[in-house]
Amino acid sequence: MTGLERYGSIENAIRAVASGDRQALRAIYDAEGARLNGIAFRMLRSRAAAEDVVQDTFLKLWEAAGRFDGRTGYGRAWLTTLLRNRTLNVLRSEARTELVDDFEPLGLETGSESAEERMTRLSDEHALKRCLEGLDAARRKLIVLAFTEGLSHGEIAAKLGAPLGTVKSWLRRSLLSLRECMG
């Protein structure tokens, strides 16, 4: 008897993981790893990123297995939810990285300073301040939400009650306007 057969079901294997059984974790990986890798790859479109997310998912499984409740759902669905949440976090972080990459030519340095310190520095930069003031209030608010509060496109859309695509295009055009103004 090998793999999940030894535990009878994925739910039993998750319970075994909760009690510290490393073989149960391995059995779940052997049974579900390829499927989870496929889901992550379809979402991320990167084999390396998908593998990282699957590894993170199994680390999360190791840590959170004790919270699994088989009465409220299936083990496979719970594992897929862990993967999906981790993948969405990666996608959100990539969206923020894209925005930061777009903003770098404006002279904003990344570092350990707080949002308040960044805003103070921004207000001291006359050219940038002038360019930000040249944007209408709604576009300026988008820039502030994205870069001082660190909100993702989706979080901004939810906060403003605007469609995601609209927020993305407004941010892109606002960044282009700032870049042109600073140029």
Residue 100, domain member (yes or no): no
Residues 6 or more apart from 80 whose CB is under 8 A from it? 36, 39
148 in the same domain as 86:
no
Instruction: Report pLDDT digits (tens) over 160-174.
Output: 888 888 888 888 888
* pLDDT level of residue 114 (50, 70, 90 thresholds): low
Residue 41 belongs to a domain? yes
Q: Are residues 169 and 113 in the same domain?
A: yes
| Better-predicted residue by pLDDT, 141 or 57 | 57
Q: What is the DSSP track for 138-177?
A: HHHHHHHHHHTS---HHHHHHHHT--HHHHHHHHHHHHHH
Q: Which domain holds residue 81?
A: 3-91
Q: What is the number of other CB atoms lying within 10 angstroms of the CB of residue 166?
A: 11
Residue 29 structure tokens: 């990986």
Report the pLDDT value the prediction gives residue 103, as an integer from 0 to 100.
44
